[in-house]
Amino acid sequence: MRNRRRNLYHFFFFFNTHTLSLCLSLSLSISLSRRLQTMPETEPLIKGVRSDILLDPSTEVSGFIASELEQEELLRDPTYHSTDNGDDIEAQVDVPDTLSQNRINVIVGSMFVGVFLAALDGTVVTTLVSRIASEFDSLPKLSWIATAYLLSSSTFQPLYGKLSDIFGRKPLLLFSNLTFALGCLICATAQDVNVLIFGRFISGIGGGGLTSLSSITTSDVVPLKNRGLYQGITNIAFACGSGAGSLLGGVFVNHEELLGGWRGAFGFQVPLTIISAYLIYKYLALPKGSPGLGVAGFDITRKLKLIDWYGSATLIVFLFSFLTAASLGGKEIAYSSPQFIALSVLTTSFLGLFIFVECKAMAPILPLHFMKIPTVTGVSISLFCFCMTSFAVYFIIPIYYTTVFNLNSQQIGWRFAPNFFTIIFGSVGAGYYMKTTGKYYYLNIISGFIAVFGTLRIAMINPSYTTFEQYLLIVTQGMGVSVIITSTLLALIAAVPHEHQAATTSISYLFRSCGSTLGVAIGSAIMSRRLDKELETRVMSFLSDKHPLDELVHIIDRASHNTEYVHGGAPEWVKQTLIDSYAVSTKQAFSFCLVTSIVGLASLFLIKEYTLHSTLTRK
């Protein structure tokens, strides 16, 4: 426990010190990349303004000082473009009104590489951690090697939308790629486990930007009617990266002399990320009038003043404390420990503080006032619930397969394989449907019912399921959720003005990351709590002279901490009892998943049908 507490303190130290480093690095990256953008001729920054009163459209509060008025009008203007920080506009190279299809393909393809690598880096450590922990003799810190990336990625991901509205998509994409590459390089060359954890944290900051900015930037270059098809391909890239991570990690470990072992697994991502960054630098030039070009005519100092620093800081602390508590609570950190209580207090306090700050902010980092729009609310809740359901299912089903069906890791992996093809079909199919019809409302509703039905089928699982049924078990649920993730994004973007699509897209990523993390945390907590009760009740019923208390306590302890013990070490006389205990406890967690999926379905009815325009100008 002392080691775990020290590890937690070390990581919080890393978080606080290097968040400051991140801000300084971001400023430097923007300064270096500002000369790389091609800029259009712009209109005057401050247009005609009423002299009597000015209202913030998000808070309806009047009485800003002059500098705030200028910034508020600037950020509200949907026609602002990026210029070379106040340099002579006439001397700058003009950008195109539209982009050719070949150029769009190169831009989007380069971002797909980033999405693939960001997803891969989140799962590649699953087959590397044991080798890394052995090499550094640091088994107590094993969980941080995997968790550091996910924590930083989910924490910083929602910030990129508004920041890219200020600094431009291109500088932020370059920053994300270079930060991700730097983190991977640190991991590949680390000589200490703490340095490795720090590298994972840095790469997570970049990885969060790679995933969110790819979606945001695609919306800048692709008309809304075609947007779903590209989002479907993005989902495929993410799924491929997630699925390939553990596989590639195993390949690098098994061929250490040829590929460099676990260091090579991190190192090979660096040149691929650099190539992606180069393609973005060379080919990404957004059309005239795009909000992705950033704020016009401001130097770096003035742009930094446009950032909602209070909102950003409170959001970072809230997300980091929440995700840490959800990820490690009940495992690395006991629920009754002072650390977990402190994290819970931090989470609650800074969530309230964040909401308060954002309601008063002139240009909030996340435009929470858009939550008043039913479609935005419906999309956010549905994504939260369905991501919670999916990740809980993906976490718990392998436990059921291992303990009840006595399957090994390879057999479980094969049973997950059909779901990969389902995600491809659902994502691309949804995009093609919306491109063809321009509609999404009934697609959402039908997909929601499919997802609920699939979750119900999972909740009804029993030992009599055939091998064929096991292969198809999560296909139905995966189909419904893959369509929903694709179609709800378009509904969200269509519900708000185009100039706000970046910050609003960040809201969806916030709810998705929180839902997925909380789903695993709550699902595993429900299962663990019920498992402890079932084991105590069922195993203790064997108490006798033949089976003394010490023996039964040992069996309960082993069975509750090691799923392979059920079939690989437990006495024959108690094996079926352990199987039944796991079957009951996992099914209770699946019942929780069913409830969350029903809530997600209900929230889909809040979504309204908006026009999916065929042009970027939405005319």
Q: Give domain limits for the chain.
A: 100-284, 369-520+590-619, 528-589
- Residue 615 CA: distances (Å) to CA of 287, 349, 611: 12, 43, 11
The CATH class of 100-284 is mainly alpha
The highest-confidence range among 206-210, 514-518, 614-618, by mean pLDDT, is 206-210
Are domains 100-284 and 369-520+590-619 of this chain identical in fold? yes
pTM of the model: 0.77
Q: Check pLDDT > 90 for residue 292.
A: no
Rounded to whole angstroms, the Cα distance separating 435 from 469 reads 34
Average pLDDT over residues 400-413: 86
Ordered DSSP codes for 63-104: ---HHHHHHHHHHH-TT----STTS-GGGSPPPPSS--HHHH
Rounded to whole angstroms, the Cα distance separating 430 from 229 reads 7
In angstroms, how far apart are the furthest CA atoms of the chain? 94
Average pLDDT over residues 330-354: 89
Ordered DSSP codes for 538-594: HHGGG-SSSS-HHHHHHHHHHHHH-TTHHHHTS-HHHHHHHHHHHHHHHHHHHHHHH
Least trusted range by pLDDT, from 102-106, 461-465, 486-490: 102-106
H-helix or E-strand containing 444? helix 441-459
pLDDT score for 426 = 92
Q: Check pLDDT > 80 for residue 141.
A: no
Rounded to whole angstroms, the Cα distance separating 29 from 175 reads 6
Over residues 584-615, the pLDDT tens digits come to 999 999 999 999 999 999 999 999 999 888 77
Residue predicted with more confidence, 33 or 322: 322
Cβ atoms of residues 192 and 14 within 8 Å: no
The CATH class of 369-520+590-619 is mainly alpha
Work out the pLDDT band at 114, boundaries 50, 70, 90.
very high
- Token look-up 């394989």 returns 417
- Token look-up 């630098």 returns 281
Q: What is the dihedral of CA 342, 347, 348, 353, to 10 degrees?
A: 120
* Residues pairing with 329 in the sheet: 333
What percentage of the chain exceeds 90 in pLDDT?
A: 40
Average pLDDT over residues 260-282: 92
Cβ atoms of residues 314 and 352 within 8 Å: no
pLDDT score for 182 = 96
Long-range CB contacts (within 8 A, 24+) of 454-458: 454/478, 454/479, 454/480, 455/389, 455/393, 455/590, 455/593, 455/594, 455/597, 456/594, 458/393, 458/397, 458/590, 458/593, 458/594
Token pair, residue 424, equals 């491809």
pLDDT score for 330 = 76
Number of helical H runs and strand E runs in the chain: 24, 0
pLDDT score for 96 = 55
Q: Check pLDDT > 80 for residue 481.
A: yes
Expressed in percent and rounded to 5, the helix, strand and coil fractions of the chain are: 75, 0, 25
Average pLDDT over residues 317-327: 88
Rounded to whole angstroms, the Cα distance separating 127 from 250 reads 6
Q: Check pLDDT > 50 for residue 94.
A: no
Q: Check pLDDT > 90 for residue 257.
A: no
Token pair, residue 152, equals 């930083």
